[in-house]
């Protein structure tokens, strides 16, 4: 079996799906790409058994067939080439592969394609379409807030919920919660599913490179994403997502407006002096002044910094985990930040005071920690 393909085209497309492959696989065949040649196109597949990605590209070939090629060695080889045609000659009996570039020849052992896991056949159910940049933004705004508790698997992924009012993405680790809503992405049928972090991180990095329309489908077992020449099928996270609406306090009479960058930089400095076990920072609000306080009694560390603000409410002191709050502010857009609070032992709500996009809404919730 013989085929010819552009080295840079192949490298670019293999990079897009290589993230699916685990660094340590129990099955050696999972260290390979499966090449499936039909006519003048090849479909290359990578899988970790939970997620399967494939990409289709044009080649020159007069034969059809399959071969499993070691992913790491192939990528490292292709990375060194400038743009040139590269020829693959495959021995159908021994599965040995010879790469030719005109000036060089490289040999490597392939694997029997019959040993490669069967590519799951996705039988559709519910579906919607979304712009790639919108989807990437939604993933980026929520994925950092997912949990890692193996006993609560539903909280280790991002909830996708869509109906005729819009698309909602939610993530929580029980200490914080992020809800991202797009009212410009709708569907007549209401459905939801939970996606794990690994496949979301992979497609997020691809979606931002070129604007396109993404078709999203799901059934009771898998989710399916298709955009450009790439397809992803991944197993859904099992379990029921927490009732996130129930934990969002509706009555928050104390409202603080502060410059987001000023708060972010102050928290960065304060976290240096905070206890490295609790990461506690205290927000003490009096009148129109916010005082950010951090201390570590064991090491005699202390910091206190004032920030001007606009405040409507009673004088209040509340403590948060600075590490979690910094992550939330790093994923926040806008010059000003609205922090709504009700009491020192109730969750704080972060919102954007400026809505440049009326079809977009972002809400971040963070639980307080005990004042000490």
Average pLDDT over residues 205-214: 92
pLDDT at 357: 87
DSSP state of 369: B
Which tens digit of pLDDT belongs to each residue from 128-170?
999 999 999 999 999 999 999 888 999 999 999 999 999 999 9
Percent composition of the chain: helix, strand, coil (DSSP 3-state, to 5): 25, 40, 35
pLDDT at 371: 86
Which tens digit of pLDDT belongs to each residue from 286-344?
999 999 999 999 999 999 999 999 999 999 999 999 999 999 999 998 899 999 999 99
User: Which pLDDT band, with edges at 50, 70 and 90, does 121 fall under?
Assistant: confident
pLDDT at 174 over 80: yes
DSSP state of 197: H
pLDDT at 102 over 90: no
pLDDT at 125: 81
Residue given tokens 């009491």 in the structure block: 343
pLDDT at 15 over 80: yes
DSSP state of 265: H
| Region of 247 on the Ramachandran plot (φ > 0 left; ψ -120 to 50 alpha; else beta) | alpha
pLDDT at 372 over 80: no
Rounded to 5°, the CA angle 275-278-280 comes to 75
φ, ψ of residue 156 to 5 degrees: the values are -90, 0
User: Which pLDDT band, with edges at 50, 70 and 90, does 123 fall under?
Assistant: confident
How many angstroms separate the CA atoms of 196 and 202, rounded? Answer: 11
Which tens digit of pLDDT belongs to each residue from 330-339?
999 889 999 9
How many angstroms separate the CA atoms of 88 and 59, rounded? Answer: 11
- Which domains, ranges and CATH numbers included, belong to the chain? 2-115 (3.10.150.10), 126-246 (3.10.150.10), 248-366 (3.10.150.10)
pLDDT at 243: 95
Radius of gyration of the chain from its Cα atoms, rounded to whole angstroms? 25
Contacts of 243 (CB under 8 A, 6+ apart): none
């Amino acid at each position: 079996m013989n085929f010819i393909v552009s080295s840079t085209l192949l490298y670019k497309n293999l990079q897009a799906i290589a993230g699916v492959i685990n660094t340590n696989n129990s099955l050696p065949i999972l260290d390979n790409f499966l090449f499936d040649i039909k006519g003048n196109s090849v479909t290359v597949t990578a899988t970790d058994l939970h997620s399967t990605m494939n990409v289709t590209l044009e080649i020159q070939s007069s034969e059809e067939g399959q071969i499993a090629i070691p992913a790491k060695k192939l990528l490292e080889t292709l990375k060194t080439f400038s743009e040139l045609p590269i020829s693959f000659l495959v021995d159908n009996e021994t599965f040995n592969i010879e790469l030719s570039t005109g000036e060089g020849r490289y040999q490597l052992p392939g694997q029997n394609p019959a040993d490669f896991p069967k590519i799951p056949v996705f039988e559709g159910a519910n579906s919607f379409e979304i712009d790639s940049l919108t989807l990437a933004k939604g993933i980026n705004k929520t994925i950092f807030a997912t949990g890692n508790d193996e006993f609560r698997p539903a909280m280790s992924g991002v909830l996708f919920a869509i109906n005729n009012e819009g698309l909602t993405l939610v993530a929580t680790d029980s200490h914080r919660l992020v809800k991202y809503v797009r009212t410009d992405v709708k569907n007549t049928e209401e459905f939801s599913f939970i996606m794990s972090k690994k496949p979301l991180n992979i497609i997020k990095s691809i979606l931002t490179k070129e604007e396109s329309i993404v078709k999203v489908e799901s059934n009771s077992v898998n989710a399916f994403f298709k955009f450009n020449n790439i397809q992803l099928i991944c197993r859904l996270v099992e379990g029921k997502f927490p009732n996130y609406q129930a934990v969002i306090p509706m009555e928050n009479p104390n409202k603080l407006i502060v410059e987001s960058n000023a708060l972010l930089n102050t928290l960065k400095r304060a976290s240096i002096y905070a206890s490295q076990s609790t990461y506690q920072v205290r927000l003490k609000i009096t009148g129109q002044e916010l005082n950010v306080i951090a201390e570590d009694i064991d090491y005699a560390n202390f910091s206190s910094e004032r920030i001007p603000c606009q405040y409507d409410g009673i004088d209040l002191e509340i403590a948060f985990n600075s590490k979690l709050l910094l992550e939330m502010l790093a994923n926040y857009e806008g010059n000003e930040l609205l922090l709504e609070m009700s009491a020192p032992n109730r969750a704080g709500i972060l919102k954007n005071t400026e809505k440049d996009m009326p079809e977009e809404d972002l809400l971040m919730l963070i639980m307080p920690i005990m004042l000490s």
